Amino acid sequence: MINKLICFFTLIFFSCTESVPLNSKKDLNYGIVIHGGAGTMNRKDMTPEKEKQYREALEESVTLGYKILKEGGTSQEAVEHSIRVMENSPLFNAGKGAVLTAEKTIELDAAFMNGKDLNAGAVASVKTIKNPITAAIKVMEESPHVLLSARGAEKFAKEKDLEIVDPSYFFTERRVNDLDKIKNIESSANRSTRQADKEFISMQRYGTVGAVALDKHGDLSAGTSTGGMANKKWNRIGDVPIIGAGTYANNSTCAISATGWGEFFIRNVVGHDISALMEYKNYSIEEAARIVIHDKVAKLGGDGGVIGIDREGNVVMEMNTSGMYRAHINSEGELSIEIYKN
Ligand code: ASP
């Protein structure tokens, strides 16, 4: 009798231990990665106070997205809300705190993509929409288009009752000073080497923001928001609102958000190329991102980075710059925040 009882409980124990972790592991496969821009980052330029501010802002953003995912929300909600935190912070080159154009105005770009149905929306060159990421999502959900620009996009946002602000809301003293510095360097005759050119371009941005997430339902999303490059002219638009370049998501592969010298990310169709390497060549997200950033973008002379998450929750944060503001929380709730490459 005792033997039978032991057998019975042993059986129950093993059937439980076998099924519970497997099921719960599947449910736990969700996560979020965010970035706050890539570029040339010197430790000597970073004061402890400044670093603390960045770390706190990144933590606030990624924690909010993670909470949404943990409570069963969608990756779309997580990405949107994480990005809004960074758009509302003056630290990043997105929303408030964006860089200035050559005409001392601010022109914002943003995009969002759903991996579930490959639906996407984007806005470019907008000057009055407080949270361009939300406008991008509205374009996706409530217009028959993918990309709206300038005054048309602003009219659309107004019609959809999104928050509209005076353009002065976005201005910060730091970016006004940055533009002055850039204009001084531009007018100096000593900027002739390729390296100097690269450093100059690097100075003209910083702090584009993005988020990618996988939710408990198995859906991937990607979003990116930016002020583009400082001193930009002629209504220049970068890679961020170009679906497949700076922003891409596909449930069968991954979700990607990029930051860097936009022209190179457009020419390499970075987000889609990473996804295509995974889809057609079966590469892991790490291999695919490494190839695209180091063998493609860098070889053409561009710099920057990407964050990505695949359908199993594997993440990548790859760059060919000395740093990228970035943070990640996995399904176990483990938080990591990094600034420098190594
Ligand atoms: N990719 C952005 C652009 O070119 C800038 C950046 O990410 O730093 O507009």
pLDDT tens track for 271-290: 999 999 999 999 999 999 99
- Check if 228 has its Cβ closer than 6 Å to any atom of ligand 1: yes
User: Which of 40, 204, 229, 235 for mutating ligand 1's site (highest number of atoms within 8 Å of CB)?
Assistant: 229
Report residue 209 as tokens.
């923001």
Confidence of residue 19 (pLDDT cuts 50, 70, 90): very low
Confidence of residue 164 (pLDDT cuts 50, 70, 90): very high
Whether 255 and 31 have beta carbons less than 8 Å apart is answered as no
- pLDDT at 44 (0 to 100): 77
- pLDDT at 131 (0 to 100): 98
- Which parts of the chain fold into alpha helices (H)? 2-28, 48-70, 75-87, 132-142, 150-159, 173-187, 194-203, 262-267, 270-281, 285-290, 298-300
Note the pLDDT tens digit of each residue in 20-67.
333 344 445 899 999 999 987 778 778 999 999 999 999 999 999 999
How much distance in Å is there from the Cα of 19 to the middle of ligand 1?
46
- Check if 240 has its Cβ closer than 6 Å to any atom of ligand 1: yes
Whether 285 and 308 have beta carbons less than 8 Å apart is answered as yes
- pLDDT at 46 (0 to 100): 86
Measured from the Cα of 263, ligand 1's closest atom is: 4
CA 328 – CA 250 distance, rounded (Å): 20
Residue 208 annotated as catalytic? yes
How much distance in Å is there from the Cα of 109 to the middle of ligand 1?
9
Taken in order of first residue, the domains within the chain and their CATH numbers are 22-340 (3.60.20.30)
Note the pLDDT tens digit of each residue in 168-186.
999 999 999 989 888 887 7
How much distance in Å is there from the Cα of 278 to the middle of ligand 1?
24
- pLDDT at 185 (0 to 100): 79
Report residue 242 as tokens.
């170009």
Note the pLDDT tens digit of each residue in 191-212.
556 666 666 666 666 789 999 9
Catalytic residue among 134, 208, 247, 321: 208
